[in-house]
Amino acid sequence: MKSSHESEKRSLPLALTINDHLQKNGDFLGLWNNTMDFDASRVPFYGLYWKGMRYLSNFLVRIDGFPLLPLFAATRFQDGHTPSPFHRHHRLLGPSISNFMTDSPHPSIVVDGPLLIDRGRFCFSNGMVEELTIHNHGPLAIHVPVSLTLHADFLDIMDIRGIRNPVPEHIVKKTFSHLSNTLTLSCMGFDHVERTTTIIVGNLDVDWREEALAGLLALPPHQARTIRVHIVCDEKTDMARKRGR
7 — pLDDT class (breaks 50, 70, 90): very low
Residue 118 C-alpha from the chain's centroid: 14
Return the percentage of the chain with pLDDT > 90, whole number.
61
Confidence check: pLDDT of 78 > 80: no
| CATH architecture assignment, domain 22-243 | Distorted Sandwich (2.70)
Residues 159 and 220: their CA atoms lie apart, in Å, by 47
Confidence check: pLDDT of 1 > 90: no
Q: Are 138 and 131 in contact (CB under 8 A)?
A: no
Closest CA to 59 of 233, 235, 229: 229
Condensed to tens digits (0 to 9), the pLDDT of residues 143-179 reads 999 999 999 999 998 888 877 666 677 899 999 999 9
Residues 123-152, mean pLDDT to the nearest whole number:
94
Confidence check: pLDDT of 3 > 60: no
Residues 29-49, mean pLDDT to the nearest whole number:
95
Residue-level pLDDT at 6: 39
- The more confident residue out of 166 and 68 is 68
CB-based burial label for 68 (10 Å; 0-12, 13-18, 19+): buried
Residue-level pLDDT at 121: 94
Residues 38 and 121: their CA atoms lie apart, in Å, by 13
84 — pLDDT class (breaks 50, 70, 90): confident
This model's pTM is above 0.75: yes
- The more confident residue out of 165 and 121 is 121
